[in-house]
Amino acid sequence: MRAELARAKVNLCLHVTGQRDDGMHLLDSIVVFPAVGDVLEATTAIDLTLEITGPFGDGLEAGDDNLIIRAAQMLADKGAALQLRKNLPVASGIGGGSADAAACIRLLSDMWDAAVPSLERLTDLGADVPVCMAQTPTRMSGIGESLEAIPSLPKFWIVLVNAGQGVETGAVFGAMTSRENTGLSSIPESFPSPETLFEYLRAQRNDMQDAAIKHCPMIAEVLRALEATENCALSRMSGSGGTCFGLFAHEANATIAASKLRENHPDWWVVSAAV
């Protein structure tokens, strides 16, 4: 048996800079991949099958429309018994489906000795699939096909929070009042400390956040709860929502904040992780 961790993809900032004629939105974003995610396992088999388990696995279809199956079929016409443990909330702005598809490609390209598909074909699976392949800090732009590694981020900690309400990306884009905004400020060559990174990020934004709050007001409550935790340097929404995050310079502070949030909101999904 082989296994891959499909890490959560967190947009530390996300600027919407335009819209193509085909309706696809243009983005400028810094993404990171904390040490938390879904787990995909594979064993050799005659047929290609997928079983989905885990705390967020209920109701997910495992048929041909599933991104994992589509990713496997893109690689080769071969069999494998795949099992996904769905640890991340669904429709939550942290790239779960794309991360799972990328994990499938990493896993089966090695197991089957198959070539990794081109960037264009990966993008056909989903705009976030290419950035989820390497799972490293990256500036992504265009529709997600333009990737620039950011190798010099300091270590910091993140608390992810989801109140259990899925957010439809299309609805959020539709509620946006402006789709042609400025891109990211020039990214420094290095960030000597977590605080210098946080200072840079405070000057950036998520252009989808206000529209997502209109669609799902609970997001504002989650952000307020994060802001109220001690030593939270920045709180923001990831992607199109509804997962939000708080950034912390020290592990102990993130752990305490996550514990308090779980205590005050036992029905929320809360996790802390290193980045």
Q: Which of 9, 38, 86, 207 is catalytic?
A: 9
Beta carbons of 246 and 234 less than 8 angstroms apart: yes
Has 9 been annotated as catalytic? Answer: yes
DSSP 29: E
Per the residue annotation, which of 38, 100, 128, 210 is the catalytic one?
128
User: 73: which residues sit within 8 A by CB, 6+ positions away?
Assistant: 48, 64
Q: What angle do CA 96, 102, 108 make, to 5 degrees?
A: 130
Distances (CA, A) of 3 to 6, 41, 87, 142: 10, 4, 14, 31
Q: Is 128 a catalytic residue?
A: yes
Query: Rounded to the nearest 5 degrees, what angle is found at the Cα of 44, between the Cα atoms of 43 and 48?
Result: 95
98 within 8 A of 132, measured Cβ to Cβ: yes
Active site residues: 9, 128
